[in-house]
Structure 1
Amino acid sequence: MWEQVTMNFSFSQLWNPIFMAVTLLIIFFYLMYTGPWKNRFSNSEPVSVKKKVSFIVGIVMFYVGFGGPLYLIGHLMFSIHMIQMSVCYLMAPPLLLYGMPGWMIKPLLKSNSFTKPLKVLTKPLISLVLFNAVFSFYHFPLVFDYLMTNYTEHLIFQALLFMTAVIMWWPVICPIPEWDTMFGLKKVGYIFGNGILLTPACALIIFSESTLYSTYSNPETWSYALGLCLQLGGPVSPELYSQFVPLSPVDDQQLGGIIMKVVQEIVYGSVLGYVFFQWVRKERLKDDAEINQLLASTNRVK
């Protein structure tokens, strides 16, 4: 399939050089501000290599999903589109949040007009419902087909989805220690809740016996949506449909739902493991501190 893609689409259509250049600039400034230029921030601290790698991987995923080949190929097949969704909203946000040092974000929080809404939106119950509601709404067939065939509205909704994804991940991987108020079992329950709320949208797609989205089942609609993606101002040839869709529309649709659910389970399971072991580690440190304090008190009495 990759050979067919490269034969039919240009380098700029596949790789979006402007988006690539912006991504490289972001990586450059991130490395400079977390390295040689970090003293320009008050209370700056060294950033570990692990966090730097996390941010760079996250921003590369962001580029691949929104500006790289995955974005274009996601317009060819629904199953690839769901991989793109997984990369953009389940993988990139937690990596970016983990890699962002709190002291770099704090200057943004000096404005109450930014801080107050963020505090409200990142409350666990609100952030939990917000992302999953927006994600599920996006996959209503009428909404999905409308957005895929209206370029500006599609970009706006993608931005909304990404922002709600960041807000959803914020209570789990909060880059600002003072705001990280959810611990232990609460974080575990929060992650489980996300998995449950995302399930209905995936189940609707997986178990539907008919095609839900004309964007991926109607060659005319497919070619028009692809033309918008390529910013051609019109549809591409509908004859390309048979070349790039080797599966039946129903099979492609069901595969997409399965991919989304499996990736979600892997991502949430990995984060769940990280949160659980962090919790156990903190409890052990707390117990050790209490034991040392008790021993010190006993020695003073003696």
Structure 2
Amino acid sequence: MAPTIPGFDYQRVQVADGIALNTAVGGSGSPIVLLHGFPQTHLMWRHVAAALAADHTVICPDLRGYGASDKPADPDGVSYAKRTMAADVVALARALGHERFALAGHDRGALVAMRAGLDHPAAITLLACLDVLPTLDMWQVLRGTSATVGFHLYLMAQPPGLPEQLIAAAPDAFFGHFLDIWSQRPEAITPDVRAAYLDACRAAVPSIVADYRASAGIDVAHDQADRDAGNQLRMPVTVLQQDWGALLGFDARALWSAWAPDLAHTTVNCGHFMAEEAPEQITAELRKLMAR
């Protein structure tokens, strides 16, 4: 049995034609949706979700293409556009009875959350993005030898075929590599959770690659259109990041400020998997956001 979030109820919620998301729901009160990152599932939020459930209705889905959620094919290149995945999230909340809700995302989930904030400002009351840069800015700051830290971005941006074949040949080595090198506290991801992550990724190679491929194509186009139009995130935004700007030569706060005028930007002293490595601090920061 795969681990679950204790005290949460699980259900499959239909969000689009033929697409249902595996979703854990717990607590009561004002709603917040928590979106996971790569190479994880909704389980990454297990500590934070349990704490927030004391005061809020907490909704933790597996994104489309990940975990136990549906994994549609991507013949037209839009199935894993962040615009499509953001529409899933809004439909999920609505199906659970919430027209307006706070939204927090980590890594890939943060990109979905940002797109939801831009596309559905009437639905998203508050927004938190953990340890990521907006897609357009990410591609602009990656350059030179420092960009080797993002080698997987370039691999999965390639046309269909080779990336899937290479990753599927050694999925545990590929996905486990990131669980190892991105963590400062490897014990925070317990063996059973690590096994669940690897099992989920092993079964989702084509959809995970399609998610990343979209970030090198259609997602860039959508972000650029918003930047050209002057569109910004209208709600209060919290961004929590490691201090990796010095390594890559950018000012993360300035990059996010261009998208989010009402911004609280905080550096978190831990590895990439901050909801697991520093759950108390992440919970406290999300409570601050919910009070804004």
Q: TM above 0.5, one fold?
A: no
Per the normalisation by structure 1, the TM-score is 0.28
Per the normalisation by structure 2, the TM-score is 0.29
Larger Rg: 1
